[in-house]
Structure 1
């Protein structure tokens, strides 16, 4: 799992996840990234859920992930 931390301007720590999606019709790399989690465990759980959702969906005709357009947040 790819979970990373970052610092806000206020000095608080937040976490995000990032993982690769299938290449688009132009063969360019695509990633899914979501930020703002308070803990690394919360980010890891959100990543796990997102991977499940993306694993169960096909690419739309335009090469985008249909699930991403229909439901921008998983939770």
Structure 2
């Protein structure tokens, strides 16, 4: 899900639930890893797919350390 903050129906809670902050998001190596990573959440429909760090899904899980990217 690409959730643009410019969308009228964008929910504030989505801002902190972006792929880059998910426990199951693993950044790609090299330059692409600055913005893209792989979803490794078996409960997500995006499992095994490369995602933009600011996308999101309904199966987001906070990282314990609160880091992003």
TM-score of the superposition, structure 2-length normalised?
0.32
More helix by share: 1
Which is bigger in relative contact order (C-alpha 8 A, separation at least 6)?
Answer: 2
Larger radius of gyration: 1
Which structure: greater strand fraction?
Answer: 1
